[in-house]
Structure 1
Amino acid sequence: MQIHVVKSGESLWGIARSYRSDMNQIILLNQLENPDVLVVGQALVIPEGGREYVVQAGDSLWAIAQRFGISVQQLAEFNQISDPSLIFIGDLLVLPYFPHTVQPGDSVWSLSQRYGISAERMIQVNGLTNPSLLYVGQTLYIPRKPRPVKEINAYTTRTSAAGRNEVLALGRNFTYLSPFTYGVREDGSITEMNEESVLQAAKANNVAPLMVLTNFTNGSFSSDKAAAILRNPDLQETLITNILAKMEEKGYTGLNIDFEYVYPEDRENYNNFLRRVVARLRPAGYTVSTAVAPKIKADQQGLLYEAHDYPAHGEILDFVVIMTYEWGWAGGRPWAIAPINKVREVLDYAVTAIPRDKIMMGVPLYGRDWKIPWVEGTFARTVSPKEAVQLAAKYGVEIQYDETYQSPYFRYRDESGQDHEVWFEDARSMQVKYDAITNYGLRGGSYWVLGNPFPQNWPVLRDNFTVRKV
C-alpha cells in the first residue's frame, strides 16, 4: 500500500498507471463515488498489485485464495479474519507471500536484505534444498515483512443496526470494542444500554468488548456525580458489585473507566477507587483501564487535568487510554483535531509517568467544519474524513496540508456567502500518528469514534501493524 497526494491535472487512470495498479481496485479501496472528480491535495491509498487485493462484488475468500494460489486458512489467518464469510467490498487483503522473478546477480542473501526478511525464512517458504543455486527466471515467493503487533481499541456510540454492521465490517482491525456508555448513579447503580447487537458483531470478529463507565449524564460529564461515588467507599463497593453483574451478563472482558472533570480534591479518592476496582475485577479475569486527559506535565492546572494522576494510573491499571485529540474542539477556534506537535508533547510527558506498554494513544476518526471568522459561543459541525473531501470537491477548493500539525485543511465559501474552515484526518495524518505509536514504543491506539466513514484509515493501519487479538 502506498499513499498518493493528488496533483493538479492528474486523473485516476494516470495515477493507477504510474503505480502499475488497477484503477477499479483504487476506486473500491478509497470508496470513490465519482472517480472522475479528484481534489488537488486529496490523499489516496494505492494497493500494490500482486501483493494486495481489494475485495470486489461477488468475491469469496475461497475464490481469492484460489486466484493467488494460497490456502483459505493462510489468507484468513494473515489478515486476521476469524470468519471467512465476513469479507466486505473494499476490504484490503494482504497476501502472505508475493512472487519475485530471479534476476542476474540475485541471491538468497541479497533478496533477504532487499525485502527485510531473514534468509532462513525465505529458504523455508520456498523449500530450497540448495540456497546457493538460484537460476534466472526462477520464481521465489517472498514472505511479507513482519509488522509490529499493537493493540487497537475503538469506541462506538452507535448500538443500532448500522453500528452492528460497521463493527462486522471493521472488527478485524480491533483488539477491543468499547460501547459508550454506562453511567454511574449517586446510589451506586448504573444506567442501562441496549448494545447486544454490537457485542455480537465484536464476538464474530474475535474482538474483546470493554464496558465503558463514565460520570456522563444529560450530555455532559458531572463533577458532582463523580464526587458522590469517589467520596463514599461503601457506595463504591455497591457500584463494583453492579459492574461485575453487568459484565458477566453482557459478556464483557474488561472495564474502561472514563471519569472526566473530576474535582482536584478527589484525585486520591479516584486512585483509591481504581485500586478497589482492580482488587475485585482482576481476580475474576477482567482487565481494568481508564481514559485520561492529555497532560504535558504532572501539575497541569485545570478541572479536566488535575485529578488524573498518570503515575498512579500507570501503576494500578492494565492500560491507560490518553485522549490525544480535541485541540480543535467544537466550541473553540478552527484548529487541527490532533496536531502531531501537541500529541508528541503529551507523549513526551506520558512515557515518563506511565510504562510505555500500558499507553494507548488516542486517535480521532473525524474532522470539523467551522464558520469563519470564528465567533465566541458558536460551534463547529463534526464531519467525517470522507465528507470533508466531498465538501472540498463540491466547492472546488484545494486541500492544504499543515506541516507543523501534520493535518489537512481547507477553506470554502457556501451558497449563502458564509466562509468555512475545515480540519480533518487523511491517510498522511494517520500515518504520522501510527509512526508516533511505533517510535514511542506504545501499547497501541484508541479510536474516537466509530460512525465517521474513513476508508483510507484501515489499509494504512494494516500496513503498519498486526492487530493483537486476545
Structure 2
Amino acid sequence: MPTLRRGSRGNEVRELQKLLLKWGYNPGPIDGIFGARTEQAVLQFQRDHGLAADGIVGPLTWGALQSQQPGYQMYTIQAGDTFYKIALRFQISLSSLLAANLGIDPNQLQIGQQIRIPLPGPGPEPGLTRVVTGWLPYWVQSLAFQSVQNHPEIFRSISPFWYVMTPSGEVLNLPNAEDSTLLSYTTSRGIKVFPLITNSFDSDLISTVLNNPLLRQRHVQNIVNKLLQMNYPGIDINYENLYVRDRELFVVFVQELKAALSALGKLLIVSVHAKTDSTGAWSGSEAHDYAGIGQAADVVRVMGYDFHWQGSGPGSIAPADWVDAVLAYAVSTIPRNKIELGVPVYGYDWPQDQTATSVTYATAVARANQYNVPIISDTLLGPHYTYINASGVHHEVWFVDALYFGTLLDLVNKYDLRGICIWHLGAEDPRIYETIRAKF
C-alpha cells in the first residue's frame, strides 16, 4: 500500500478510513479524503500501538492496521465515567474491561483518556432480548440525541431524519444531517446509525421516480453512493402517502434497492403505514404492500400510531386493540423476526373543533398541572384529560406515559417481534427506559 498523509486522496485513503473505523477510531466520513479527522485518528492509533506518532501511514502503520481483526475498540473517557458504568454501558464484565486495560488505574481516570473496550465474542449478546431503536427528527435532533446519550445501553441503533429524495432521484441533506458529534458518539458506543430518507409525504414526488426506470435506478445508485461515502450499515426508507396505483412499483423499487445493498453487505429498512388488512383505512396504507415489502426488506417498521391524528377528532393515538389487530395482520404477511413496531411516545392537544397540536410527555403533564385538572390513567388507551383555557376554549389531551408504553411492549412480546422503534426520541416519558428493561 502507498504511503499516505494529510492531503492524500483515493481508494487507498478510503481503505485506510474503513480500517480505522473497524479498530474503533473515527476518521470522519468514508470519503477517500485524508483530512484533519483522519489524521487525528491515525495519530491516536499510532500512539496506542507504540508506533511513531507522525500521522503518516507508512509500512509499519499499514501492517498494524492490517494485522488480525481487533479484539477491542477504543473509548474516550467522559465526565462521570467509571469502569463499572462503562462495563454496564457496553454490556461486558468488569473483569474483562480491567484485563483489557492493564496498567490503567480505574480510580484515576481522566477526561479525554482512551481505554480499550473488549469486543463481544461469539454467542448470544447479553442485555435486551429485542432490538430497541428510535427516530430522531432533524427539527429536534439535539433533544432526541440527548435521549440516546442518557441511555446508550438501551439502543442497538438509531435513525436520524437526514435525507430527502428529489424528483430527479437525488438524495439531499436535511438540516443537521451527518452530524459529526452524533456519528462519533454512536461509533464509540457501538450504536449503529441507519439514517432515514423521506419523500416529505409527497405522493407526486415518489411517483415521478417510481414510474421512470432510469430515475428509479439513479435513485438507487445515489442511495448506494451515500452509504459508501458515509460508511453507514444501511438505510431507512420512509416513503409515505404513496398513490395506490404505485403499489407494485414501490415493491419493485424495494427489490432493486435491496439487490444493490445486499451486494455491499448493507441492510434495508422500510417503514410502512399501519393497517389491519391489505387495504387499510386510507390510500397511503393500501399502497404499502406488506407481503412484497416484507419479502424484500431486511426490516419492516410498522408505524403503530396516529389512529387519532391531528386532523381527526380527539382520542387515543394508539388504542391497544387496534395495535393488536395491526400486528396480527403484519405477522400474517411479514416474517415476525423482521418486524419492528413503531411505538409512539408523544401526544396531541385538540382544541374543540380544531386541528390538534403535538405535545411531548413533559408538556402534557405540565399543562394538566397548569390548569389543575386530573390525568385519567388508562392502560388500554393511554392517559388523557380535558381543560378549558383562559379564552374559554375546551381542550382534550391524549398522550403516552410509561404505563401505557408498557402495554404496547406487551403486544410486541405477544407477537414475538424483532423489536421497537420509538417515535420520536426526545418526546418520551423518561420512565419508559425502566419499562423497556422490565419487558425486554
The two structures have a TM-score, normalised by structure 1, of 0.66
C-alpha distance 426-290 of structure 1, shift in aligned 2 (>3 A):
same
Q: CA deviation at 1:343?
A: 0.5
Contact 1:324 1:346 in 2 (8 A): yes
| Amino acid paired to 1:236 | R
Which of residues 160, 165, 169 is equivalent to 2:150?
169
Partner of residue 164 from structure 2, selected from 175, 183, 191: 183
Per the alignment, residue 400 of structure 1 pairs with 376
1:215 to 199, 203, 208: 199
Distance 1:59 1:80, change over 3 A: farther
1:199 lines up with 2:183 in the alignment:
yes
1:31-77 CA-to-partner distances (Å, cap 9, x unmatched) read xxxxxxxxxxxxxxxxxxxxxxxxxxx99453xx7xxxxx5665444
Deviation at 1:80, TM superposition (A): 10
From 421, 427, 433, the counterpart of 2:402? 427
Alignment of structure 1 residues 287-436 onto 2, 5 Å: 287-300=267-280, 302-372=282-352, 375=353, 378-402=354-378, 404-405=380-381, 407-436=382-411
1-structure distance, mates of 2:163, 2:86: 38
Q: How far apart, in 2, do the equivalents of 1:73 and 1:257 lie?
A: 33
Change (3 A) 1:162 1:448: closer
Cα distance in 2 for partners of 1:397, 1:289 equals 42
Q: What letter matches 1:228 in structure 2?
A: T
Is the 1:386–1:455 Cα contact (8 Å) retained in structure 2?
no
Cα distance change of structure 1 residues 301 and 369 upon mapping to structure 2, 3 Å threshold:
closer
Per-residue deviation, residues 291-346 of structure 1 (Å, max 9, x unmatched): 11111111336321222111111111111000100112111111111111110110
**Do 1:410 and 1:423's aligned partners in 2 also have CA atoms closer than 8 Å?**
yes
Partners of 1:167 and 1:198 within 8 A in 2 = no
State the distance in 2 between where 1:198 and 1:78 align.
21
- For 2:422, which of 420, 443, 447 is the aligned residue? 447
Deviation of the 1:275 alpha carbon: 0.8
**Cα–Cα, structure 1 residues 213 and 403, in superposed 2: closer, same or farther, change >3 Å?**
closer
**Deviation of the 1:433 alpha carbon:** 0.9
Q: Contact (CA 8 Å) 1:289, 1:319: kept in 2 or not?
A: yes
Measured in 2, the distance between the counterparts of 1:304 and 1:79 equals 44
CA–CA distance in structure 1, aligned partners of residues 236 and 369 of structure 2: 39
Q: For residue 266 of structure 1, what is the amino acid of its counterpart?
A: D
Partner Cα distance (1:316, 1:442) in 2: 18
2:369 and 2:137 map into 1 onto residues whose CA distance is 29
C-alpha distance in 2 between matches for 1:461 and 1:79: 19
Asked if structure 1 preserves the Cα contact closer than 8 Å seen for 2:128 and 2:437, the reply is no
- The CA distance in 2 between the partners of 1:270 and 1:361, in whole Å, is 21
Amino acid at match of 1:267: R
Which blocks of at least 5 consecutive residues in structure 1 are unaligned?
Answer: 1-57, 66-70, 86-145, 466-470
Instruction: Kindly indicate whether the alpha-carbon contact (under 8 Å) linking 2:337 and 2:417 is maintained by their aligned counterparts in 1.
Output: yes
Identity of aligned residues (%): 31
CA distance in 2, matches of 1:446, 1:153: 5
Cα 1:200–1:330, aligned 2, differ >3 Å: closer, same or farther? farther
Structure 2: how far apart are the matches of 1:389 and 1:232?
49
Specify the SS of the correspondent of 1:171. coil
Paired residues of 1:324 and 1:361 also in contact (CA < 8 A)? yes
User: What aligned pairs does 1:59-70 form with structure 2 within 5 A after superposition?
Assistant: 60-62=80-82
Distance in 2 between residues matched to 1:172 and 1:158, nearest whole Å: 23
* Number of aligned positions between the proteins: 332
Amino acid at match of 1:380: A
Compared CA separation, residues 261 and 179, structure 1 to 2 (3 A): same
Match of 1:438 in 2: 413
2 CA distance for matches of 1:417 and 1:249? 55
Q: Give the TM-score normalised by structure 2.
A: 0.70
